[in-house]
Structure 1
Amino acid sequence: MAHWDEIDGISGRLLKKILLGEGRDSQEDSGRLTDKYKDWDTLAKQSKKALKYDANKAFRKLQYRKYRRRHLMTRWSVAASIMLLFSLTIFLTQESPEVKPVKKIEPGYKKATLTLSDGTSWDIRETAKVFQVKDSEFKVDSCGLSIFNNAIAPSQTETQYHTLSVPRGGEYNLTLSDGTQVWLNSESELRFPTRFNANNRTVYCKGEVYFDVTRNPDSPFIVRLDKGEVTVLGTEFCTSDYENSVVEVTLVTGAVRFKAENGDSVSLTPSQHLVYNTVSDSISVTTVDTRVYTAWKDNLFCFEDETLENIMRTLSRWYDINIRFDSEDLKGRHFSGTIEKYSDIKSFLEVFETGTGIKFDIYGHTIIVRKSR
């Protein structure tokens, strides 16, 4: 067996040949490292600095091992070990890039922003709180936001409004001071007066909103939409005007009158669904299963002979995701189905794929809809 001194010498000569180019014919190759490292002491010091390697401490540990040798490691082998570790560190860093976990697609939840008439904004969710604003009390709990105010605004005063806004991936419940209950779906907004006046109760809304109006024959409840308005005495109905060119009103109970921006008006009876197309300036009324249009407030999405484009648009608002269609002809295909609002969207999509010839590819928060191969 070779002596450690001999092994030491061999490793030193080999390292010189590899790093400093000794023994090569090309002067250019041999000088690549020698210009930077004039001697071995410099090389060893630089290596130790790069890895914060305590060579003396390592030597002391090795001296107590079973096979003690005075020259077990010289500075040559120390440098070789350091350079080897340094190379492995670089290699492993390059070969193993940091992999960031993909955030799971989560369903929406109760969240909204309340902007008061003075411009003050409150981020309200399910955290219980009670605060006073002039003559109104605002109470936030797990049921939503409730407003208590028995005062009636004088007819001569200018009406001031609060605004409740629900973002994508959110929903919220509101009880107005007259007892009217309001459910706001994702990307919806309700603007309501700080105090109702004696003649009417007028609110403004965008998006999709469900109303359960407290009856008051002396003060009709009026919902102003972007392209029309709904007048009621006491009833349950739903409005939707997500699209700029379409306004929808679905009546559950009672009676309402819809008035278009052009002055045309139509009265609805229970289970009727109105669609006002602002482009063609036309109104159509059909009898429907109202659950299809109102189930969202009961934590369900019901789709009946609905286009895939509209289905995915509804899901995109609730799950706060982006939708891309690989083929335009897929958008117009019609489907029916029901999904629980708080369920995993992947489970729904997997069931939806069965026998439809459609595939949903999920990339982060983007879903690509394509034909299955």
Structure 2
Amino acid sequence: METLKEKIFELYIERLSGNLSAEEEGYVQQMLEQDAAFKAQWLSLEQDAKTLHVKDYLDSINSETALNTIKEGRERNARNRVVMMKKALAAAAVLLIITTGSYVFFFRTATPATKFTAAALQKNKQPVRLLLSHGETVELNKDSSAKTINLHNATLTASNGALQYTSADTMQNTLEVPAGENYKLTLSDGTEVWLNAATQLRFPFHFGVAAREVYVEGEAYFKVAKDAQHPFTVHTTLTSVQVLGTSFNINTYHTGTVQTALVEGSVVTMGKHGEKEALRPGYKADYEAAQGFTTNHFDEEDVLSWRNGVYYYHKMSLTALIEEASRFYGVRFVLDKDKFAGRFVTGLMDRNRLNDFLSDLKTTAHIEYQLSGHEITLK
């Protein structure tokens, strides 16, 4: 439960950043006149802010700078969702959000997140499933204990969100990762594949003698084992990517578009009409059937952070963010699109911190939320 001290802190930073509503301003004035403890805390914050030049800092910051600062903080400690700011108030965390063209840079004391939302939704999550070629379905665990599953055509070992196997069967199987989850698969040739939420990978337990081919829908990161005699091909509904040994990310989440981002090695990606695009490390190719390929440099942290359960978003509309959040957390978000039209946000989502994500939206964008079954309504 939020303490009075935390409430005062939130109100002060909102006023400092120009985001305090008229109703909240009236409440602050009333409390300053009637509550000695409130006034003492408020005056203390004013003195700290003056000493640390917080107002100048808030005025000078922008969304991309703040997000880069957050990224740097995560690189130092992957468990931190925000970076500690020594120039600002002690033990404060930082979150940046843009609402209707104005910047809000919000500092708040770190408090343990409540668990009720995650607990209520966890029981409704779907399992990772392996659909075998002969029709059988195997549910795969994500806990740390190793589990061996003996099938008539394969032996599976599932442990800590990863699957390995031994088999000589060349028939196609499908690995389904539901919304809100991710999973790792090691193929028979040693190729490692990380699958993001709401993703399917079709693959054989054992590759044939001619080539190595798989099919993906959703998002996956491939670290392909080198084998010059057997090229590796990833097929999507619109493109195919051919490699020998390399690391790359492929994303088909958005209908009509495929993004291929190369981390190391080299790839050639081909469109459905015969178009070809060779990529160098650090570059991505976006393909649309009507326009062909567009190639640009990409930020590796942005593209690959999902493997660590983090998603960065840049100046994204709230309507688009909610679509991403539904897939990322595995819960359906409902948003009043007319009410929040034109609002754009920059920040991050942590898959293990749904409560923090909802709390941040409430604090910085004044969005209330209500949980009902497997659905969260934002209003």
Q: In which range does the TM-score fall when normalised by the shorter chain?
A: 0.5 to 0.7
CA 1:320 to 1:355, structure 2 compared with 1: closer, same or farther past 3 Å? closer
* 3-state SS, counterpart of residue 267 of structure 1: strand
Cα distance in 2 between the residues matched to 1:137 and 1:331 = 51
What's the offset of the Cα at 1:193?
1.4
Which letter does structure 2 place at the counterpart of 1:337? G
Tell me the distance in 2 between the aligned counterparts of 1:227 and 1:167: 22
Alpha-carbon spacing, 1:349–1:131, altered in 2? closer, same or farther (3 Å):
closer
Moved more, 184-193 or 127-136: 127-136
Aligned to 1:266: 277
Instruction: Judge conservation of contact 2:334–2:378 (CA < 8 Å) in 1.
Output: yes
Q: Report the secondary structure of 2:254's partner residue.
A: coil
**310-319 or 326-335, larger mean C-alpha shift:** 326-335
Mark the CA change 1:104 to 1:134 in structure 2 (over 3 Å): closer, same or farther. closer
C-alpha separation in 1, matches of 2:214 and 2:342: 35
Q: What is the DSSP-based 3-state SS (H/G/I as helix, E as strand, rest coil) of the residue aligned with 2:253? A: coil
Tell whether the 8 Å contact from 1:191 to 1:203 is kept in structure 2 after alignment.
yes
* Distance in 2, Cα, partners of 1:139 & 1:331: 47
> Residue 108 and residue 173 in structure 1: after superposition, are their counterparts in 2 closer, same or farther (change >3 A)?
farther
For 1:300 and 1:107, the matched residues in 2 are separated by 22
Query: 1:284 aligned to 2:294?
Result: yes
Contact 2:212 2:233 in 1 (8 A): yes
* 1:207 aligned residue: 218
Residue-pair matches, total: 260
The yes-or-no answer on 1:145 pairing with 2:156 is no
* Distance (whole Å) between structure 1 residues aligned to residue 325 and residue 378 of structure 2: 13
The equivalent residue for 1:17 is: none
| Mapping of residues 171-182 of structure 1, within 5 Å | 171-182=182-193
Identity level (%) = 28
Query: 2: CA distance between counterparts of 1:192 and 1:120?
Result: 15
The within-5 A match list for 1:1-373 is 104-106=120-122, 111-126=127-142, 128-133=146-151, 136-149=154-167, 160-278=171-289, 280-328=290-338, 330=340, 333-343=343-353, 345-356=354-365, 358-364=366-372, 365-370=374-379
Query: 1:331 and 1:245 mapped to 2: Cα distance?
Result: 24
1:303 alignment partner, SS class: strand
Q: Distance in 2 between matches of 1:188 and 1:111?
A: 13
Name the aligned partner's letter for residue 274 of structure 1.
Answer: A
Tell me how far apart the structure 2 counterparts of residues 185 and 317 of structure 1 sit (CA, whole Å): 10
- Give, as a single letter, the amino acid of the residue that structure 2 aligns with 1:137: T
Distance 2:147 2:377 in 1: 41
Deviations, residues 328-364 of structure 1 (Å, cap 9, x unaligned): 4745643221232211x232232244444x5142232
The Cα shift of 1:236 comes to 1.3
**Mapped partners of 2:124, 2:264: distance in 1:** 28
Q: Distance in 2 between matches of 1:256 and 1:114?
A: 28
Show CA shifts across 1:37-64 (max 9, x none).
Answer: xxxxxxxxxxxxxxxxxxxxxxxxxxxx
Q: Deviations over 1:132-157 (max 9, x none)?
A: 445643211225110234x5x8xxxx
Question: Residue type of the partner of 1:347?
Answer: D
Q: Counterpart of 1:122 in 2: which secondary structure? A: strand
Question: How far apart in 1 are the matches of 2:213 and 2:236?
Answer: 11
**Does structure 1 retain, via aligned residues, the 8 Å contact 2:126–2:178?**
no
CA distance in 2, matches of 1:335, 1:123: 37
Q: Check conservation: 2:221, 2:249, Cα contact below 8 A.
A: yes
Which gives a bigger RCO, structure 1 or 2 (Cα 8 Å, sep 6+)?
Answer: 2
Deviations 1:227-278 (A, max 9, x none): 1111111111111112221111121111111111111011111121221123
Tell me, which stretches of 5 or more residues in structure 2 are unaligned?
Answer: 1-115
Are the counterparts in 1 of residues 199 and 217 from structure 2 also a CA contact under 8 Å? yes
> Would the alpha carbon gap of residues 118 and 216 (structure 1) be closer, same or farther in structure 2, given more than 3 Å must change?
same
- Greater mean deviation of Cα atoms: 347-356 or 175-184: 347-356
Deviation at 1:197, TM superposition (A): 1.7
Deviation at 1:284, TM superposition (A): 1.2
Q: Which ranges in structure 1 are unaligned for 5 or more consecutive residues?
A: 1-100, 154-158
Report the Cα distance in structure 2 between the residues aligned to 1:108 and 1:305, rounded to whole angstroms.
Answer: 31
Q: Aligned partners of 2:126 and 2:378: how far apart in 1?
A: 28
Give distance in 2, aligned partners of 1:192 and 1:123.
17
| Contact 1:187-1:317 at 8 Å conserved across structures | yes
TM-score normalized by structure 1? 0.63
CA RMSD of the aligned region, Å? 2.7
Post-superposition shift, 1:206?
Answer: 0.8
Give the SS at the match of 2:120. coil
Matched residue type, 1:340: D
Matched letter for residue 221 of structure 1:
F
Conserved in 2, the CA contact under 8 Å of 1:359 and 1:369?
Answer: yes
